[in-house]
Amino acid sequence: MTARAVARWQAAAPYAVGLVAALGVLAVLVAALGGDAPAAVGSLVRASLGSAAGFGQTLNKTAPLLFGSVAVILGLRAGAFNIGVDGQIYAGAVAATGVAFLAAGLPKLLAVPAVLVAGAAGGALLGAVPGLLRARAGVSEIFVTVMLNFIALFFVEYLSTGPWNDPMAGEAITRAVPPSTTLPLLGVRVGAHAGVLLALAAALAVWWLLYRTVFGYEVRAVGDNPTAARLGGIPVGRTVALALVASGALAGLAGAVEVSGFHYRLILGLSPGYGVMSILIAVLSRRHPLVAIVASLGFAALVVGTDSLQRSVGLPASAVFVVQAAVLLVLLASEGLRRAP
């Protein structure tokens, strides 16, 4: 075997360990709840990947996770931690819904792109806040993005229970967006919408941006060594700010896709933890957008699968976070062990 192949296997080994760890942790949790662990794992795979309907739902979940994880990756590459993906998803969803209501009369070919662009703009706006604060005042984006998450959530609550509320629903749900603004389906019974294709395109676009453009080069340079980058003439502050804006735009697209592809409304529970999952996926993918495609699919399958276990074993929803985080911790530890003297 060539040295390169050996290196590839060595790089992949932690992922295999991670996968085993995931299944192991899951088996332990299931057993602790009195369930049949092997059967649980089997039903998990079946529910998420084994049936057309299940796979469709997995694809639907992949879309926001992929958007979110490449958003985080873009930020990480510039050395910034975008923990505000949840808030940016909501901001994008708000903008998308608003534009959707306005675009009621437009033909589908115009309405859908308008809604998507609005979503990106909404997310970008929210990403600009930490970006500007970091560029101008050197404020860490970690705290700002988290606070903005809360603020965005309250704003969505205001809209979905106030001016945009659907009175018949009696809940924090807005009126439906016009049919001309909805994304096409990939198969009616399967239930998957075109959003996953958009997310795929976004991941490829981010890859191309990072590795084939000057801006991408600058982003990576700033992320790897800001001092050297500054000395090399790259405007560090501006680059980081732009990266955060772009990161926000990607997350905002996730929000737009969820509204126009999945719910057809703006709802309060639009993002059930996509933000934190995106961070985990980004780290797991070693900050590489193409690896994130596979990782997002894997996480989506895990979410869909563990949810089906809720019915058979009584595994609570929070278990999926435990499994995901445990996998990452194992991975981080194994890499650390390899590196330690």
Partner 1 sequence: MQRWIAWAVLLAVVASVGVAGAAPSRPRLAMILPGVIQDADFNAVGYQALKEVQATTGVQTAHSEQVAVADAERVAREYLASGYGIVAFHGGQYLTIVQKLAPLFPDAVFIMESSGQIPNLPPNVWNIGRKFHEGFYVLGVLAALSTKTNRIGYVAGIRLPDFVASLNAVFQAVAKYNPRAEVLYTFVGDQNDPVKARQAAESQIAAGVDFIVISVNLGTVGILEAARAARRPVLLTTFYTDKSSYAPQHFAASLLSNFGKPYVEVTRQILAGKRGGYYEMRPGSGFGLTPPRNVPPEVARRVQQVWRAVVLRQERVDEITDRVVERR
Partner 2 sequence: MSWELLLDPSLVRLAVSMAVPLALASAGELLMERAGLLNVAIEGIVTLAAAGAFLGAFASGSAGVGLVVGAAAGAAVSRLLAHYAVAWRRDQVTVGLTLYVLCVGLASLLYRMVVGVRLTPPRVETLPPVPLPWLGDLPLVGDILFRQHALVYAAAAVVGALHGFLFHTSLGLRLRAAGENPVAADTVGVDVFGLRAWAALAGGALVGLAGAALPFTLTGTFTEGIAGGRGWIALMLVIFGRWTPLGAAAGALLFAYVEAFQFKLALLSKAVPPQFLQMLPYAFAILVLVRAYRGAEAPEALGKPYDREART
Name the site residues for partner 2 (rule: CB under 8 A).
29, 32-33, 81, 83, 133, 137-139, 142-144, 146-148, 150-151, 154-155, 157-158, 161-162, 276-277, 279-280, 283, 316-322, 324-326, 328-329, 332-333, 335-337, 339-341
Give the CA-trace dihedral at 331, 145, 269, 206, to 10 degrees: -60
Instruction: For residue 251, give the nearest of 68, 80, 61 by alpha carbon.
Output: 68
Q: Are 135 and 241 in contact (CB under 8 A)?
A: yes
Three-state secondary-structure class, residue 134: helix
Binding partner of 171, given partner 1, partner 2, none, CB within 5-8 angstroms per partner class? partner 1
| Phi, psi dihedrals of residue 100, rounded to the nearest 5° | -60, -45
What is the closest distance, in whole angstroms, from the C-beta atom of residue 13 to partner 1 in the complex?
33
Q: Which of 44, 79, 307, 323 binds partner 1 (CB under 8 A)?
A: 307
Q: Is 3 exposed, middle or buried, given 0-12, 13-18 or 19+ CB atoms closer than 10 A?
A: exposed
284 residue type, one letter: L
Minimum gap (Å) between residue 299 Cβ and partner 1 = 14
The CB-of-283 to partner 2 minimum distance in angstroms stands at 5
Smaller CB separation from partner 2, 114 or 280: 280
Query: Which partner from the list partner 2, partner 1, none does 283 bind, CB cut-off 5 to 8 Å by kind?
Result: partner 2
Q: At its nearest, how many Å lie between partner 2 and the CB of residue 318?
A: 4
Q: How far is the CB of 61 from partner 2 (least distance, A)?
A: 17
Nearer to partner 1, 268 or 294 (CB): 268
Rounded to whole angstroms, the Cα distance separating 16 from 8 reads 12
Nearest to 94 by CA among 167, 172, 150, 153: 153
Instruction: Count the neighbouring beta carbons within 10 Å of the beta carbon of residue 104.
Output: 12
Closer residue to partner 1 in complex, CB, 17/176: 176
* Region from 28-36, 162-170, 194-202, 280-288 binding partner 1, contact rule CB under 8 A: 162-170
Q: Which does 142 bind (CB under 5 to 8 A by kind): partner 1, partner 2, none?
A: partner 2
Q: For helices 85-102 and 108-137, what crossing angle results, to 10°?
A: 140
Say how many residues make up the chain. Answer: 341
Look at residue 82 and give the partner it binds from partner 1, partner 2, none, a contact being a CB closer than 5 to 8 Å depending on partner kind: none
Confirm if 193 and 203 have CB atoms less than 8 A apart: no
Q: Which of 10, 113, 269, 329 binds partner 1 (CB under 8 A)?
A: 269
Interface with partner 1 in residues 50-79 (CB under 8 A): 51, 53-54, 57, 60-61
By CB under 8 A, residue 267 contacts partner 1: yes
Question: How far apart are the two ends of the chain, measured CA to CA in Å?
Answer: 26
d(CA 109, CA 36): 50
Instruction: Out of 6, 143, 157, 329, point to the residue binding partner 1 (CB under 8 A).
Output: 157
Q: 226: part of which helix (H) or strand (E)?
A: helix 226-231
Amino acid type, 246: A
The residues of the shown chain that bind partner 1, judged by CB under 8 A, are 47, 51, 53-54, 57, 60-61, 154, 157, 161-162, 165-173, 176, 188-189, 191, 258, 262-265, 267-272, 304, 307-308, 310-311, 316-317
